[in-house]
Structure formats: C-alpha cells, structure tokens
Amino acid sequence: MELRVVVTGLGVISPLGTGLKKNWERLLKGESGISRITRFDPSSLPCQVAGEVDDFDPLEYMDAKSVKRMDLFIQYGLAASLMAAGNAELELTELDPHRMGVYIASTWGGLSVFEKNLEILKEQGCKKVSPVFIPSGMPSMASAQVSIRLNAKGPVSSSSDGCAASSISIGDAFRVIQRGEADVVLAGGADYVTIPVTLAGLSNANALSRRNDQPSRASRPFDRDRDGFVMSEGAAILVLEELNHAIKRKARIYAEITGCGRSADAFHIMAPHVEAEGAVSCMKNALKDAGISPPDVDYINAHGTSTKANDRIETMAIKKVFGEDAYTLSISSNKSMIGHLMGAGGAIEALFSCLSIYHSMIPPTINYENPDPECDLDYVPNEAREKKISYAISNSFGFGGVNVCLVFKAFEG
C-alpha cells in the first residue's frame, strides 16, 4: 500500500526576500523583485536585469569558515533548509536519522566558484587554486551540506535536470516516502547563476528579456509584449513527511502531495514541442497518478516563463488537457514577480502552490497588460484572488524537453 505524503515545513530565499512571511506577503501584493543588476557592471550585456537576493546574511545560519567553503547556492540551500526544518518544528533529536533524507536540486551548481578558480589558474598558476573549490561548488553539495548539518542519514540526492530539476527532486522525495523508505525528506532546489557568463549565453540565445529600462516590468508571462525570461537566484525547500509520522507529532500540514507526472519532449535542446506533446502527457500523467480528473483542479501554478514560445505552448497544453474546463481554471505565474530561479524554480512554485491551498489565496500574474490572442485563459491578472482550492498543480518544463507536473491537494484529516 502506498503511503500518504504531506508538506509540513517551508523555507524560502528569493528576490522578494529571505523568509516565508516576507515572500508570501510581497507575492500577494504583486510586488516585483526584479531590478537592474548590482553585483557587477552589466552595461556590456544585452540583458541587464535579474532577480537578486539583497537581504541574505549567511552568518545567521552558518559560521564564517563555512561561508568561505560554500558557493552562494549552497549557502542559500542550507539556510532555506534550516528555515523549513524550523517551520516544520522538527525535533531532530527525536527523529530517526536513517529515516530522514535530503533531495536538493541545482541546475549548474557553483558556476561562480568554477569561474573564479579558472581565472586564478590562468593568472596565478596551479598552486593558487583553492583545494576546496570542487566540494564548494559541486551541484550535489547543497544536499550534502544539509545532510551533514541535520544528521540526515537516509536517502540523499541532487537533480540537475535544467529548469525542472527541483520539481524532480520533490517528485523523487515523494516516491521515497510513498514507498516507505523514509519518514521525512527535505526537498527542493537552490541556484546562483546570475553571473556574466550565463547571462551572456542566454542573451545570445535570445532567451532573456531586454527591457533594461523597466526592470520590474521585464517579466510579463502570457502578455502579448513579453520578450524573454529574467534570471533569478535563491532557494526553496519543502519538508515532505509521511502522514502518520506528521500526525503523531501534531505537525501543521500545509497540503498533501498526491501525484507526480513526468515526460520528455524528445524534440529540441531549448524549444518546447510545437504541439505541446510533452507538456500534455506530463499533466495527464500527474492527474492519473493523483487519481483525479481535469474538473477536480482549481488552480495551475504555471511554468509561465515570459518567453514567446513557452507561454503559448503551455496555454495550448492546458487547453488540450482540460478542454472547456481550461477556461474556468485560475492560472498564474510567480515568475512575473520573482523571475526564473532556474534549478530552484519548480520548488519555489511548489512552495507557493502549497501556501495558495493553505491560505485560499492565488498570487497574481503581474505585468499582464496586453492580452495575447494565443494566450486567452484566466491568468489572474495583476491582483491576488481569494479562492478555495481543493487541488492545485505546479508545472515545470526544462531545457532539453524535461517536463514535470506536481499535484497538491487541500489536506483532509
């Protein structure tokens, strides 16, 4: 018999700020966390805007020596994990460490550390390269550091499957608990890739917005005038827990996770399938896994990147899966306010989906000003909406055609 899995803790760092309360309040207000890049001079780049985190102090979560040995994405992942564990009120000394796992994804890992040490090697020679730069930047090291800090000796893993990576980590953690291999798993993602080389590469691929004179309006999913996505940074972690384990310790339950669907476009390294085949099968697989039908879904937290192709194809997919019910669905894109957190993107959208269910509130899609005839569904434009949600799904579609859809439901005791 498959076990039931619930979400009992949440931790988040994003361009909206550090901490759950600040993120949720700003999200519901429709505030943008996108600004002109400040960490370096972006004037030579086509895209000069990003979602930077400006209020994070790593010393609140780790000592100075640890900070020096971790790329920023690991710091984000560790801090968000500690927040999530605290939010779940986990008493670590009372948990079986061999029944506790960590699944934290990262698209590129410590790319900034690699970039820095390559420069050192070129300019100063071999002996000046840091002896710890490899473990300070490996994609798997966010999971490893959290495992060490929390004494989690159960399953530990890290996905790097593009923009769908953290949704895959959550889905894999869901299965681990469902099969009875763990009682508690911290799952999500962390990334810090808002650096010149990634911005240059994605700009040259015409993937990023060039609305440099209006940063807060640059990310505009489903709007007719969208011109690309905005790269961001941060982390989001969910505490997934076996239901009886959560009930026994009287945990707060935000939502229940009931399904995960996956698929591949098998089409192109960057573009979505022109007929939305992968996205359609992914959502259908998720609904089947959850044991529900399209009319049961009240809300879709869309991948909604603000690129011409993605938003059009995702809209097409929703119509193909939900038929006429597509027009009664509430759909919104958190990326309109936080940009694209890359390897953490799916996790933060899953986190906000759980909060939407728990609080009966749907965050808006901001900057939706000019309707696109090919994107004609209800995207909850510009203002949050109160709505009771029984089921919500969260879509993640990554480069290479990797698709994941997670299903969450309101918890019923």
Catalytic residues: 163, 303, 340
Nearest to 310 by CA among 278, 358, 343: 278
Phi, psi of 405 (to 5 degrees): -135, 125
Q: What type of residue sits at position 316? A: M
Burial of 359 (0-12, 13-18, 19+ CB in 10 A): middle
CB 71 within 8 A of CB 136: yes
CB 261 within 8 A of CB 297: no
* Helices 20-29 and 345-359, packing angle to 10 deg: 80
CB 344 within 8 A of CB 164: no
Q: How far lies 34's CA from each of 37, 42, 218, 236, in Å?
A: 9, 14, 8, 18
* Alpha helices in 135-220, H assignment, sequence order: 141-150, 165-178, 196-204
Q: What type of residue sits at position 331? A: I
256 - beta bridge partners? 6, 409
Query: Distance between CA 385 and CA 235 in Å, rounded?
Result: 25
DSSP SS3 for 167: helix
Structure-block tokens of residue 181: 């291999």
CB 30 within 8 A of CB 369: no
187 - beta bridge partners? 103, 238
DSSP SS3 for 22: helix
DSSP SS3 for 309: helix
The secondary element (H helix, E strand) that includes residue 358 is: helix 345-359
Q: What are the start-end ranges of the E strands in 203-273?
A: 234-242, 255-264
CA angle 371, 372, 376 (to 5 degrees): 85
- Count CB-CB contacts under 10 A for residue 32: 21
